[in-house]
Amino acid sequence: MKKTLAAVKSSYRWPTVYEDTKRFIDNCYDCRRVKPRYESPVGLLTSLPIPDRPWLDIVMDFVTGLPLCEGMDAVLMVVDRLLKERHYIACKAGDEGTTSE
């Protein structure tokens, strides 16, 4: 940035020279490509361990925004990771603690 700004200032003058030069460098593909990265390198992905028995490791998710059916408008989905068995529990969105099957 300093070298580019010095080179521009040696030949040109205008009120927003610093901001325009910074914006040019920030949007320049070659400038972005050669800049050093300060983040830690991303590690390798590792898979989750396989559960020893059914229902030891589960995944839960709420599906909301459903049309009202018998007073219920959401579904709690519980999935066993080992057997991929699913249970769907009808519930009301926004009413914590009230579920029924």
The span from the CA of 52 to the CA of 47, in Å, is: 15
What digits encode the pLDDT tens for the residues 86-96? 999 999 987 55
DSSP state of 79: E
Q: Token digits for 26?
A: 């920030």
0.95 exceeded by pTM = no
What was the pLDDT predicted at 67?
Answer: 92
- Show Cβ contacts of residue 32 under 8 Å, excluding neighbours closer than 6 positions: 26
Place of tokens 């009808």: 90
Q: Token digits for 7?
A: 């080179």
Question: Which of the listed ranges 15-19, 24-28, 45-49, 73-77 does the model predict with the highest average pLDDT?
Answer: 73-77
What was the pLDDT predicted at 84?
Answer: 93
The span from the CA of 57 to the CA of 78, in Å, is: 10
